[in-house]
A and B are shown apart, each in its own frame.
Chain A
Amino acid sequence: MEDQVIKNTVHDYFAGRATPLQKKVIEDWLKDAGNHEQYYQWLHEWELNHLQGRASWEDAFQRTQQMLHQEPEPESILQTDDTPTRWWNRTSIRLIAAVLVVAFLGVSFPAIRNLIYYQTSETGYGETRKISFEDGSSVTLNANSSLRYPRFGFGEGTRRVELRGEADFQIEHTPQHQPFIVSIPSGLEVNVLGTQFTVFARSRRSQVTLRSGKVALQMKQAPQASPLVMKPGDLVVMNPSGKLSRSHTAHPEQYASWKDHHLTLNRTSLRELASILEETYGFEVEINDPELASRTATGLLPAENPEATLELIAELFAINFTRHDNRIVFKD
């Protein structure tokens, strides 16, 4: 069998969609141990494209390093069960140990200090959540997004948060003029004094839309470069290669319409909608015709729940769709 055919079959198979015959083919293919590297390579690719949840490798790395550095008896930490008989399971000892460890780590390692001082709020597919801060600012997270922020308030200095996914910000100006900085995985930083704006930070693109006030964009890696200052209505997109492009929109609020459970379409192609459905609801969307994928629509689409949204999209584009669990196929 040709490589590409096998690859597609294996990917289908990972997704649980292979027929018994295809499974047999794969099992035979796997009998050749020389194919195992390929198998894991494809599993890795497939998993990267279908992540079930986000996790911070930095935290895990720190945690593993800690485990290695401070284990007198390696066995105890490796236990995956919770047998109540272990000495360290007694609440008081664990509490004391925890306090000591936290104090020690907090003092010794800045990275661990971050782990203690910061918390992360995460939304699942189809979920939005509003996070309010003491200073009166608030952030609304769209689905499948996460925000990392200080556990015990911002303190006196810069107010700093990290975003993955999509969020709308309403930032209050503080009497001390504390800057508010949103950093996103692509390295872009949004520097704010008090304003309303929407940030989109997913793998396919990074984007900032400003509704009111003023923000400055800066690359984390290039703090000395002069920042790009945005005016209300500005929309700045950073493509995966790191190039910024600015344009103007008359309706910046549309980019936060998901807050009111709406999707704003503006000559939006079905292909883009498919990406939005994947990001927001965790669907796997297929469009079986390139012409269909480039069809566009304009309008305001209520998006209360995934089922109704799908129906409405089909109606709007006058097409059909089939759904098996999380897999959607749009067809003419």
Chain B
Amino acid sequence: MGLVEKLSSSETSLREERLQPEPSKVIDNEHFIRAAFAESTGKGFEALFRLYYQPLFSHALRFVYTREKAEDIVCDVFHDFWKSNTYDSMQGTFRSYLYAAVRNRAYTYVRYELKEEKNTTSPESSEHLSEANNPESLIEYDELYQRIDQAILQLPAQCQRVFMLSRFEGKKNKEIATELNLSLKTVEAHMAKALSQLRKAILTITILLQWFS
């Protein structure tokens, strides 16, 4: 069928098996972070950034779908944590604290951003992490980012493309119109549709939660 073209070759296959995921156990692998903190606060935070910034950023991205915003959120969490001086008296791991704080902030931001009238309330991220850690909140956060993902996946292809160019690459509607050879109106319509789908997804979860609580 012409698909398979025999390739003459004498090389040996060099590709390797993929690495197995690590075994699952709560290992307190934060010893070295505490050791770094003992040396200096700067060293401690450097270790924290090195270990957790990338996955936290990735996680925030699931909520906000904008690189800049995700970076802002994670940096703000680190920044506040640094300023608060609570890193000296941590109960539990840094990991739990940082994930809870980032999720809380991202969640608050998304709910605020997609509200119809933005001006009425400003985003106030309640850093009451004890509250953010009750089982309902944990699940609420997880469902939120999953719904956002679903909503974006279900957008028509072109609409999804426009949305990703706008949000992920920070392109202006005009630039997107030129790049995709669309009229500005069409791009605006795609964006409006994408945002309305997102709003719906977030609204649904709010209603569900009210229903069950």
Contacts and interface: CB of A to CB of B under 8 A. Distances in A.
Interface stretch (B1-9, B182-190, B194-202): B1-9
A5 B136 CA distance: 22
B21 A45 contact: yes
B14 A268 contact: no
Interface string B1-38: 00111111111111111110110111100000000000
A271 B69 CA distance: 36
Interface string B44-61: 011001101111111101
A204 B58 CA distance: 19
Interface string B93-119: 101100110000100010010000000
Contacts of A245: 14
Contacts of A60: 49, 53, 57, 71, 74-75, 78
A45 to B, nearest CB: 7
* Size category, B interface: 35 or more
B16 A266 contact: no
A239 B57 CA distance: 27
A44 B100 contact: no
A80 B123 contact: yes
A131 to B, nearest CB: 15
A249 B122 contact: no
Nearest to B92: A37
B168 A51 contact: no
Which of A27, A81, A239, A297 counts the most B-chain CB atoms under 10 A from its CB? A81
A50 B7 CA distance: 34
B83 interface: yes
Interface residues of A, number: 81
B67 to A, nearest CB: 6
A229 B25 CA distance: 43
Contacts of A23: 139
B54 A37 contact: no
A130 to B, nearest CB: 16
Contacts of A28: 135
A13 interface: yes
Contact of B15 (A7, A38, A272): A272
A247 interface: yes
The 4 closest A-B pairs by CB, nearest first: A57-B53, A16-B146, A30-B135, A299-B4
Interface of A: 3-4, 7, 13-14, 16, 23, 26-28, 30-31, 33, 36-45, 47-55, 57-58, 60-61, 63-65, 67-68, 74, 77-78, 80-81, 83, 124, 203-205, 207, 235, 237, 239-240, 245, 247-251, 254, 264, 266-269, 271-272, 275, 297-301, 312, 315-316, 325-326
11 contacts: A7-B24, A36-B133, A44-B55, A44-B99, A45-B22, A55-B53, A68-B82, A78-B80, A80-B73, A266-B11, A268-B15
